[in-house]
Structure 1
Amino acid sequence: MTPIDPAALDPSVWTATCLAQVERAVAELRRGGVVALLEGEQAALVLAAETVEQPALAALQTASTSGRKGELRLVLTAERAQALMKRGLALPANTPAEEYRLLSVSGALAAEAVRQLADPTVAALDAQALGVGAATDIAPAIAQGAIELMKAARLLPAAILVLVPRAGLDHWVDPAFRLEARDLAHWRRNAAANLRRVSSARVPLEGAEDAEIIAFRPHDGGKEHLAIIIGKLDTGRPVLTRLHSECFTGDLLGSLRCDCGEQLRGAISAIANSAPDGTGSGVLLYLAQEGRGIGLVNKLRAYRLQDAGADTLDANLQLGFGADERLYQPAAEMLRQLGIGAVRLLTNNPEKVTGLAQCGINVTERVPHVFPSNDHNERYLSTKAMRFGHMF
């Protein structure tokens, strides 16, 4: 896990204007529009590979830089580039420090081919016929910023880029959709760490009638995180705490592919019954980080890859994501606002212990949280143990 940069959590770094610009750019990318990233004298038009359609791609092919027409670049994460190389795309090997790969692509490349490069769940890729090579002419801040924007938009982390003269930006992109690339370096962590409490209500739960739900909204206007308070908290001692990432399929539909629903309901019961007389107390943080932070749509893509033979970790890598894209800043900030500085953490995942500790929360104990497997999730749980280090 990458250590947290304290400067990245300084709320003064991010103004409401910066956050609004990112949100506008995210919305534009999700609808298939173009935004601009700026770094020094360089400017690049950015289009999401996942949403690209032929008219938008053709428009970018008319943009020019240094007098050259139609020179497109494709930026991928290092994980996705590695997966493409395994499928026959000839590229120089990654260095361990590389977080992205910048590729040159033909101006005649079709939108469908772009989607094939970005998405391993679409039609089979003819890597040799694509004419893709390595490129180095786009500033690292722009390339990395494009990846960050795609992740913020819950899209596949791949983008088409084309350099244009800064003086000609008015022809391509409205000022509302232009971003300084260097501002994106830590924006997700800053947005995640700045939460405000927006609503609360008493909500009796099955197995925990004395419960209250408190909603926290990120400053970027993103999806709310929830704190479920069970019983009467004693913040003078370590509080029994569960971090639970939302799982639509497991929590709501009762999917048998994972153990999320059992963990959610089991944690509520465990907290409520943590005292012998049934008056236990603690908090369950229900975090808006579906699919280990990749979003529901991408989780469904990962399921397709798992059905084709990949395990949970490899499916994420093939899609271009890291093994776990979750952030722990929201959980830590929620705990601080609840007056909780020390916790007994209900988890099998040592990364959660480390992640909270790096964000300033004292984890005094890891409390095991184990449930039986079934025929559908046995491999999933085995992968958790063998490749993610979960302790069952």
Structure 2
Amino acid sequence: MDRATAEVRRGGMVVVMDGTAPLLVMAAEAVTPGTLETMTGLAADDLRLAVTARRARLLDLAAEETEVAVIGADHPLDAATLRALAEPGETRPKNGFSAESRALDTPAGAAVQLMKIARLLPAAVIAPLPTEAAADPVDWALARDIPRVAAADVLGYEETAARTLMMVGEAQVPLEGAENARILAFRPADGGTEHLAILIGEPKPDAPVLARLHSECFTGDLLGSLRCDCGDQLRGAIEAIAKDGAGVLLYLAQEGRGIGLVNKLRAYTLQDQGYDTIDANRQLGFDDDERIYAPAAEMLRKLGFGRVRLMTNNPLKVEQLARHGVEVTERVPHVFPSNPHNLRYLQAKQTRSGHLF
């Protein structure tokens, strides 16, 4: 998985295999005329574009409530067209385009999911392997130094990464407002991105622990951005836990509600054009919230905490922790004043995402 994600991020090809219909896959946002020519020379058929069904509906190319759509055309798709179909904007394809529905658990669905894991736009250029390669895609890919990955491994990656989290380092780090604090780093078995746990005081495993799940926010946490309330939530949670005596803050590597920093900046641009935070994500082809909470539950278990008093305004976090086996004994409100720059954002979270303020 690590080589496959690195390859698509730099604009290269990978082979996604499922045993019956392996696909050549490339990130739509990274495609160039040169890479497209190389891919066309290797493929058995015309190149097509796999996107989320949400994105296809925005392009007026799919009506069914499926998870993935594969867009084709009655003419070869060039790099500029593929990028225009993948990127947000007012582009609507003219005549000659069509879309077919696909389930997530297909090679096309795995191709789109691979882009999400790589924190790219959820759009993949796909093509079937030539006939002689389909019988033995492993050797075919090895001979051409093309990374390969099983569709099942892509689709199960997030849960697998969470399940294999191990603590790999810790240190005492006195914090402003919480001098008795330790930071523990957790890394999945594949060497992927680390999540952090900040232990404040000496929380007791035999009682519900005061806990906060905080998704990283470079702009809010580090730069003090006024477009969100993340910085206030982070520092406020540390202070509240210290005042309570003990607890844990999980700092999760899920920037931008799971879409990544670059896509979050793209969403900000769309918000400046009038979209709210939910519709901006949808314009990019993402769900309203792409975060998962299996890593948080696994970290809590490894720290010995099976019950929590959860500091949150988001009922989804309560539901997801319970789904993953962590009992939430109390929801502790975690509210901070708005400002002129984040008022619309907070209102959208309340009215459209069900946050409780």
TM range (shorter): over 0.9
Compute the TM-score of the two structures, normalised by the length of structure 1.
Answer: 0.86
Q: Distance in 2 between matches of 1:239 and 1:323?
A: 29
User: Which runs of structure 2 are paired with 1:138-217 in the superposition (5 Å)?
Assistant: 141-165=106-130, 167-168=132-133, 169=137, 174=144, 177-217=147-187
Native 8 Å contact 2:102 2:108 kept in 1: no
User: Which runs of structure 2 are paired with 1:129-140 in the superposition (5 Å)?
Assistant: 131-135=96-100
Q: Secondary structure at the match of 1:50?
A: helix
Native 8 Å contact 1:42 1:139 kept in 2: no
Native 8 Å contact 1:244 1:287 kept in 2: yes
User: Which runs of structure 2 are paired with 1:98-137 in the superposition (5 Å)?
Assistant: 98-105=66-73, 108-120=76-88, 124-128=90-94, 131-135=96-100
Match for residue 335 of structure 1? 300
Native 8 Å contact 2:42 2:130 kept in 1: no
Q: Distance in 1 between matches of 2:131 and 2:301?
A: 44
Q: Distance in 2 between matches of 1:230 and 1:183?
A: 36
- C-alpha offsets along residues 264-320 of structure 1, whole Å, 9 cap, x if unaligned? 00000111112xxxxx10000000000010000000000001000111111111111
Match for residue 221 of structure 2? 251
- For structure 1, the 5+ residue unaligned runs are 1-21, 86-90, 275-279
Greater CA drift, 326-335 or 108-117:
108-117
1:351 pairs, out of 281, 294, 316, with: 316
Cα separation, partners in 2 of 1:136 and 1:282, compared to 1, 3 Å: closer
1:220 is displaced (CA, Å) by 2.2
State the one-letter code of the partner of 1:303: Y
State the one-letter code of the partner of 1:330: P
The aligned length equals 352
Q: Distance in 2 between matches of 1:27 and 1:74?
A: 20
Match for residue 57 of structure 2? 82
1:175 is displaced (CA, Å) by 6.3
Q: Secondary structure at the match of 1:255?
A: coil
Moved over 6 A (4+): 136-139
Is the counterpart of residue 230 in structure 1 residue 200 in structure 2? yes
1:136 is displaced (CA, Å) by 6.5
Q: Secondary structure at the match of 2:29?
A: coil
Native 8 Å contact 1:73 1:135 kept in 2: no
Is the counterpart of residue 309 in structure 1 residue 277 in structure 2? no
- C-alpha offsets along residues 215-247 of structure 1, whole Å, 9 cap, x if unaligned? 111122111111101111111110000000000
Native 8 Å contact 1:154 1:294 kept in 2: yes
State the one-letter code of the partner of 1:116: A
1:181 is displaced (CA, Å) by 1.8
1:102 is displaced (CA, Å) by 1.0
What percent of counterpart residues are identical?
56
Native 8 Å contact 2:62 2:100 kept in 1: no
Match for residue 49 of structure 1? 28
Q: Secondary structure at the match of 1:143?
A: helix
Native 8 Å contact 1:43 1:165 kept in 2: no
Greater CA drift, 315-324 or 158-167:
158-167
State the one-letter code of the partner of 2:180: D
Q: Distance in 2 between matches of 1:55 and 1:162?
A: 16
Is the counterpart of residue 273 in structure 1 residue 243 in structure 2? yes
Cα separation, partners in 2 of 1:83 and 1:190, compared to 1, 3 Å: same
Cα separation, partners in 2 of 1:92 and 1:251, compared to 1, 3 Å: closer
Q: Distance in 1 between matches of 2:23 and 2:232?
A: 46
- Please tell me the root mean square deviation across aligned C-alpha atoms, in Å: 1.9
Q: Distance in 2 between matches of 1:304 and 1:233?
A: 42
1:64 is displaced (CA, Å) by 4.5
Greater CA drift, 138-147 or 355-364:
138-147
- For structure 2, the 5+ residue unaligned runs are none
1:39 is displaced (CA, Å) by 2.5
Q: Secondary structure at the match of 1:369?
A: coil
Cα separation, partners in 2 of 1:248 and 1:225, compared to 1, 3 Å: same
Greater CA drift, 325-334 or 55-64:
55-64
Match for residue 72 of structure 1? 47
Cα separation, partners in 2 of 1:334 and 1:137, compared to 1, 3 Å: closer
Q: Secondary structure at the match of 1:254?
A: coil
State the one-letter code of the partner of 1:346: M
